[in-house]
Copies of this chain bind each other. A is one copy, B any other.
Amino acid sequence: MLPDSFRFGVMEGKGNVKVREEKLPNLKDDEVLIKQEACNICTTDYQQWQGKREHQGYPMAGGHESSGIIIAKGEKVSNSLTVGDRVCILYDFCGDCDKCKKGEITSCRNIKQFGKNYSDKYYGIFGFANYFIRKSKSVVKISNELSASEAGFVEPLSSVLKGMRKLRINSGFDTVVVIGGGTMGLLNAAVAQAMGARVIVSERNPQKVKKIKQMKLELIDAGNEDPVEQVRKRTNGNGADIVIIAVGTSSANEQALEMIKNDEGKILLFAAGYPAPELNIDSNTIHYKQCELIGTYGSNLDDFNNAAKMLSEHRVNVSPLIEEKIPLTRIQEAFEKASTRGNYRISVLLQS
């Protein structure tokens, strides 16, 4: 029997996340009812909880790294989606605007990623709900072999894939340095490696250093070594072909500019930072070094699809990036742990 209500995590204000319950609406022709299984807590979520992004609005029915199983589908939903399929949720999008026509759904001109899209009461897209109804176009299928928490990585992975598209890695040749060994840094590292780059991760936090070693990634222990010097040394003095800045700080920007090779290097500005990190560079330097500073944010429909494919085919292994799984009933504790420096993804289990 199908549920008629759903429970979900809501950030009600700074430091306060609760579980609430609402009625499920009727399933429409083009919708699927998803039994959501897990949702991982992203920085956007826990910084809202920490009060650092209050401009996003309360109450926030957040969570956007969620996966589950289709348990019912509307009449017009195609045969490509079946009851029993594991799916990952995407942001909803209008499908009409020029951005959506290009697949750039995170830039949709009509539906904002963290707006009140599903409810007049709540911001957010209800990732932390145990059941939810979504448009069938707003999910992608993923292998049942993965855990629900691993499947939750489709959204962050899609944003990494967009960055990689923009970087145009020279597979088999490039040496990529990732500054920052947090979840997004290591996800970038794992993908760059899967795409045939040599990858070096620079990090100073001892807990993260340990994780990097455990994942057998090449490490610069920035607490004990000079990252710029190490990059030069390990590349025969050439510098990195590519630097991915996965931590939003002025010092990371500065290091990146010193680490890249003398000509034709590329720097990906993957992470935002608050306050906005400085970038001390004049245009002559970019000109003469023939380098590229590349910004990336969001992802397109194909990136989401490819992220699901990449996980389903075990091209990257995200399981080391799951710090702990905590049931929905203890969601407040989950947010506390997610906010703890040095922790990787906390996954909220939605059926327990």
Interface residues of A (CB under 8 A from B): 30, 77-81, 94-98, 100-103, 107, 109-111, 136-137, 140-141, 164, 166, 169, 171-173, 191, 194-196, 198, 245, 248, 253, 263, 269-273, 276-279, 281-298, 301-302, 304-306, 309-310, 313, 315
Contact = CB atoms under 8 A, between A and B. Distances in A.
Contact of A171 (B169, B287, B288): B169
Contact of A196 (B107, B137, B171): B171
Given A78-B110, A81-B96, A295-B291, A283 B269 contact: yes
7 contacts: A78-B110, A171-B194, A171-B195, A272-B283, A273-B283, A279-B282, A285-B295
A223 B137 CA distance: 44
Given A78-B95, A107-B263, A277-B282, 12 more contacts: A78-B94, A166-B292, A172-B196, A173-B315, A269-B287, A276-B282, A276-B283, A276-B285, A285-B295, A287-B297, A290-B295, A291-B295
Nearest to A252: B283
Nearest to A90: B101
B292 A270 contact: no
Given A276-B284, A279-B281, A315-B173, A292 B293 contact: yes
Closest 3 interchain pairs by CB? A196-B196, A286-B295, A78-B94
Given A95-B136, A96-B137, A137-B96, A101 B286 contact: no
Copies in the complex: 4
A136 B98 CA distance: 12
Nearest to A313: B198
A287 B272 contact: yes
Given A195-B171, A195-B196, A315-B172, A287 B270 contact: yes
Contacts of A198: 313, 315
A304 B282 CA distance: 28
A97 B100 CA distance: 16
Contact of A80 (B94, B107, B277, B302): B94
Most chain B beta-carbon neighbours within 10 Å: one of A109, A110, A172, A284: A172
Given A172-B191, A173-B309, A293 B282 contact: no
A301 B173 contact: no
A140 B290 contact: no
A79 B110 contact: yes
Most chain B beta-carbon neighbours within 10 Å: one of A141, A171, A278, A310: A171
B315 A288 contact: no
B310 A173 contact: yes
B80 A110 contact: yes
A111 B80 CA distance: 11
B103 A302 contact: yes
A12 to B, nearest CB: 28
